[in-house]
Amino acid sequence: MKRFFGLAVTAAIPLMAASFPLAAQDLPTRSFMGEDLFKLEGVTDPQINPDGSRIVYVRKTGDIMKDRYASSLWLVDAKSGAQRPLVADSNANMAPVWSPDGKRIAYMSTAGGTGAQLHVLYLDSGTSVRVTGLPDTPGALAWSPDGRQIAYTMRVPADGAKLGKAPDKPEGAEWAKPLTIIDRVTYRFDGGGYAKPGFDQIFVVSADGGAPRRVTGGDWDAGGPIDWSADGRSIYFASNRIKDWERSTDGEIYTVDVNSGAVRALTTRVGPDFAPRVSPDGRRIAYLGFDDAGRSNENVDLYVMDADGTNSRQLASSLERSFNTVEWAGNSALYASYADRGVTKIARIGLDGRVATVASDLRNGGVSDRPYAGGEFSVSDSGTLAYTAGGVDRPGDLFVQSGGNARQVTRLNATWLQGKDMAPMRKLAVTAPDGRPIDAWIITPPGAAPGKRLPTILEIHGGPHAEYGPGFSTDYQLYAAAGYAVLYTNPRGSTSYGEEFANLIDKNYPGPDYDDLMASVDAAIADGLADPKNLFVTGGSGGGILTAWIVGKTDRFAAAATQKPVINWSSEMLTADLAVGAPKNWFGALPWEKPEEYWRRSPLSLMANVKTPTLVVVGEDDYRTPMSEAAQYYQALQLRGVPTAFVTVPDASHGGFTARPSQSAAKASAIIAWFDRYRTDKPQPSAPAVGGN
C-alpha cells in the first residue's frame, strides 16, 4: 500500500489508470515546431586543461522569457564523463581559459551589471572573483606562463573628427543630438554598429585583481588572439601598421615587450598573418596567413617560425585546405581544424610536415539556422582532444578522444528529442554540366512515403566562399516538418574543396555556380523525389544573391525568398562594411572603373525577366548586405508587378540575422507561408497574394 497526499492507495490504482491511455491527439506534436528552438541546447567553446583530465565548456540554453540563448560554464571529467555546473546563473558566462596550473579558469561574465568583464574562478573553493571593471568589454584572454597575469585586448577611446562648433547651449535647454563627424574609411561594422573613435590595445592585469596596465599604443589596432612568450616577457599579436592601413587588408605578427612597450614585426609580406600560438618551450610560433594574390578566395595556410621571426616555413601544404584554428600539443606537434568536402576535421601536423587526420565529423554546438560546416576543439599537452560533434538531428555535443578512441560525453537534447520526429538526410549524386561532381544533400519530411514526389526547396549557402555539410539546421527541420524536402549543395566557389574549385567563380560571381545549382535540381527530379511542379528556392547573403539571380534566369521555380541579398554590386560596395579589399578581390576594379562589369553581375540587371513570386527578407541593422539592397529589389518587384512582400527583422545584423529564437522561427514561418501560397499539391489559402499581380 502506498500513500499519496495522506491517502491510502493500493498498488492496483496505477494499473487501472494504465488501461485508459491518453488519446494520441492529447499528446504534444511530434513535429519540430518554431517553439522548439527554445528547447535546444548546445556545447560550444570546449577547453581542456593542460593535463587532459578536465574540460570546461560553454552550454547554450534557450531562454524563452528573454528570447536568447543563455550561456553557462560546465565542468566535465574527461575519463568518467561526469559533469557539473561551474557558473550557471542568469548572467552571460563565456570564453573560459584555463590557468597554466589548471587550478583556475578565467572567463567573461556580465555578472555585476557593467557589461561583460573578466572573472577568475578558483576551482578548489568554487569562488569566483571579478578582476576588471572596465568601461568596455575585454577580449582575447591569455594567461601569462607563471599564472600571475592575464593579458587581454580592449578598445581605447580617442577623440573623434571635429568640424566647426555648435552654438553654446543655454543651461537647461533641450537641444537635438550633436552632429556626428565621420572620417574613417570603414566607419561601421556588421554586428558592431557605427565605429567609435579609438583603437584596440593590449593590457595586462594581475590575476588576483587590481588596476590593469596598458602595453601597446599608437593609432593601430592590436588584434587577437594573443599569446605570451614562454618567459613571460613578451606578447605576440597581429596588427596592420602600415601607413595607409585603412585601405589595406595586410597584417603581420608582432611582438611587444611587456615592460618597455617596444614593438617589433616578425613577419612581412603582402597578405594577412594572424593567430600566433607559441610552443610550450617558447622556441617556435605557429600562425595562420596567406599571400594576397587579389583573388576572391585564398586558402588560409599554416606556418611555423622561430620565436624571433626567422626560419618561417609552411606546414601541411599538401593538404590543400583552409585552416581554421591551430593549437600546440607539446613542442613537436600541432593540431589544426579544417573543412574537407563540407566536413570539419582535425589534423595532427608534425614539424616534419607529416599530416594525420585524427578526428572527423565535427559539428557546430551552437544553434544554427543553416548547416554550415563547423565545430570547435582544444587539445591537451598529451594530445587528448575535446571537440564538438553531432548529427543532422541536433546541435553538437561534447566528445573526448584519447589514444585514438573517441567517446561522446554529453547528450544535451537526447531526452526531449525522443518525442520529436526529426527529418533525415541523405547524400545526392550530382554532376555539373562540365562533368565535375558536386556535393549535395537532401532533407526529407519525417515519415515521407518512399517514391512520392515532394515539394522541394533549393536552399543556397552564403559566402559564396563557404561550405555546407551534413549538420543540424533549424530552418531545414522546420521546412521538412511543413512537408518540404530541402535540397542543399556546395556548388563551385564553395570552400573545403581546394583553391582551384573555390576560384572557379573568381571575378565571375554569380556565374557558372548557377549551372551547378540547376544540375542539383535536375538530379533531385531524376532521383524521383523532387516535384518539378513544386520547386522553390531561397538562400541568405551569397545564397540570397543567387536566389535573385536564379529567378532572373529561369521561371522553373513556383516561388522564391531572397534573404539579405546583394542586388546592385555598385551600391553594395559603396555602402557595405567590406569596402576595403572587396572591389579589388571580387572585381579587379572600383565601381566607376568597370561599371558595366558591376552591372553585368548584379541581379538587378535581370529584373525585366523576373516573373517568380519573390519574398524579400533582411535584417534592419545589416551592414554587410545593407537593407538598401533588399529595398531596391522589393521596389523593383513591385514596379514590375511581380507578387512580393518585404520582411524586415528588427535590430538584426547580417551575422545576427537569426540570433533571437523568436525571430529565427518567425522568419522560417514567413518563408514557409510564402511558399505554401504557390504550392499546387495542397489547397490554397484564402488570403490573397501580397504585392502586384
Nearest of 544, 553, 508, 555 to residue 634 by alpha carbon: 544
Nearest of 82, 138, 75 to residue 110 by alpha carbon: 138
* Model confidence pLDDT, tens digit, residues 459-486: 999 999 999 999 999 999 999 999 999 9
Please determine, for residue 53, whether its predicted confidence score (pLDDT) is greater than 70: yes
pLDDT value for 579: 85
- Kindly provide the residue ranges of all beta strands, DSSP E only, lying in 482-558, ordered along the sequence: 485-490, 530-540
pLDDT value for 22: 47
Q: Which residue has the higher pLDDT, 161 or 226?
A: 226
Please determine, for residue 353, whether its predicted confidence score (pLDDT) is greater than 70: yes
Residues with Cβ within 8 Å of 402's Cβ and at least 6 positions away in sequence, in order, are 52, 78, 383, 384, 385
Task: Please state, in angstroms and rounded to a whole number, the distance separating the CA atoms of residues 535 and 555.
Answer: 10
Q: Is residue 216 part of a domain?
A: no
Q: Is residue 634 part of a domain?
A: yes
Task: Please state, in angstroms and rounded to a whole number, the distance separating the CA atoms of residues 364 and 43.
Answer: 8
Q: What's the pTM?
A: 0.93
Give the total number of structural domains in the chain. 1
Strands 454-460 and 530-540 come out as parallel
Residues with Cβ within 8 Å of 598's Cβ and at least 6 positions away in sequence, in order, are 568, 569, 570, 573, 587, 591
pLDDT value for 113: 77
Q: Tell me how far the alpha carbon of residue 182 is from its chain's centroid.
A: 29
Quote the Cα angle for 355-361-366, to 5°: 120
* Model confidence pLDDT, tens digit, residues 247-284: 888 999 999 999 999 999 999 999 999 999 999 999 99
Q: Is residue 279 part of a domain?
A: no
Q: Is residue 529 part of a domain?
A: yes
* Model confidence pLDDT, tens digit, residues 83-106: 999 999 999 999 999 999 999 999
Neighbours of 157 (CB within 10 A): 11
Cell of 692: 502586384
pLDDT value for 451: 87
Q: Which helix or strand (DSSP H or E) is residue 339 part of? A: strand 333-340
Amino acid identity at 62:
G
Q: Angle, to 10 degrees, between the axis of helix 513-526 and the axis of helix 542-551?
A: 70
| For residues 626-631, average pLDDT | 97
Confirm if 217 and 261 have CB atoms less than 8 A apart: yes
Task: Please state, in angstroms and rounded to a whole number, the distance separating the CA atoms of residues 542 and 658.
Answer: 16
* Domain at 641, CATH number: 3.40.50.1820
Please determine, for residue 691, whether its predicted confidence score (pLDDT) is greater than 80: no
Confirm if 253 and 276 have CB atoms less than 8 A apart: yes
Task: Please state, in angstroms and rounded to a whole number, the distance separating the CA atoms of residues 496 and 319.
Answer: 11
Quote the Cα angle for 77-83-87, to 5°: 115
Domain that holds residue 550: 425-567+602-677
Confirm if 119 and 128 have CB atoms less than 8 A apart: yes
Residues with Cβ within 8 Å of 317's Cβ and at least 6 positions away in sequence, in order, are 301, 353
Confirm if 82 and 34 have CB atoms less than 8 A apart: no
Task: Please state, in angstroms and rounded to a whole number, the distance separating the CA atoms of residues 62 and 70.
Answer: 6
Task: Please state, in angstroms and rounded to a whole number, the distance separating the CA atoms of residues 428 and 442.
Answer: 7
Stretch among 10-14, 207-211, 644-648, 675-679 having the lowest mean pLDDT: 10-14
pLDDT tier at 15, thresholds 50, 70, 90 = very low
Task: Please state, in angstroms and rounded to a whole number, the distance separating the CA atoms of residues 577 and 572.
Answer: 9
SS3 content of the chain, % helix, strand, coil (to 5): 15, 35, 45
* Model confidence pLDDT, tens digit, residues 389-411: 998 999 999 999 998 899 999 99
Provide DSSP, 400-460: EEETTEEEE---TTHHHHTTS-PPPEEEEEEE-TTS-EEEEEEE--TTPPTT--EEEEEEE
Task: Please state, in angstroms and rounded to a whole number, the distance separating the CA atoms of residues 239 and 252.
Answer: 6
Task: Please state, in angstroms and rounded to a whole number, the distance separating the CA atoms of residues 650 and 18.
Answer: 49
Q: Which residue has the higher pLDDT, 7 or 523?
A: 523
pLDDT value for 683: 53
Cell of 429: 549524386
| For residues 129-144, average pLDDT | 94
- Give how far Cα 677 sits from Cα of 29, 476, 557, 640, 663, Å: 24, 19, 13, 20, 21
Average pLDDT value over all residues in the chain = 92
Residues with Cβ within 8 Å of 144's Cβ and at least 6 positions away in sequence, in order, are 150, 151, 204, 228, 232
The residues pairing with 440 across neighbouring beta strands, listed in sequence order, are 428, 489
Q: Which helix or strand (DSSP H or E) is residue 65 part of? A: none
Q: What is the 3-state secondary structure (H, E, C) of 341-385?
A: CCEEEEEEEECCCCEEEEEEEECCCCCCCCCECCCCEEECCCCCE
Task: Please state, in angstroms and rounded to a whole number, the distance separating the CA atoms of residues 71 and 43.
Answer: 10
Nearest of 579, 642, 577 to residue 606 by alpha carbon: 642
Q: Angle, to 10 degrees, between the axis of helix 474-481 and the axis of helix 661-677?
A: 40
Cell of 433: 554540366
Task: Give buried/exposed letters for 602-626 (b at 16+ CB in 10 A, else e).
Answer: bbbbebeebebbbbbbbbebbbbbb
Cell of 10: 493500493
- Give how far Cα 492 sits from Cα of 187, 364, 418, Å: 33, 23, 38
pLDDT tier at 115, thresholds 50, 70, 90 = confident
* Model confidence pLDDT, tens digit, residues 542-587: 999 999 999 999 999 999 999 999 999 999 999 999 888 899 999 9
Residue whose C-alpha cell reads 579589399 in the numeric block: 581
Q: Is residue 611 part of a domain?
A: yes
Q: Is residue 518 part of a domain?
A: yes
Q: Is residue 326 part of a domain?
A: no
- For residue 627, give the 3-state DSSP assignment: helix
pLDDT value for 28: 84
Q: Which helix or strand (DSSP H or E) is residue 642 part of? A: none
Q: Is residue 558 part of a domain?
A: yes
For 298, phi and psi rounded to 5 degrees? -135, 140
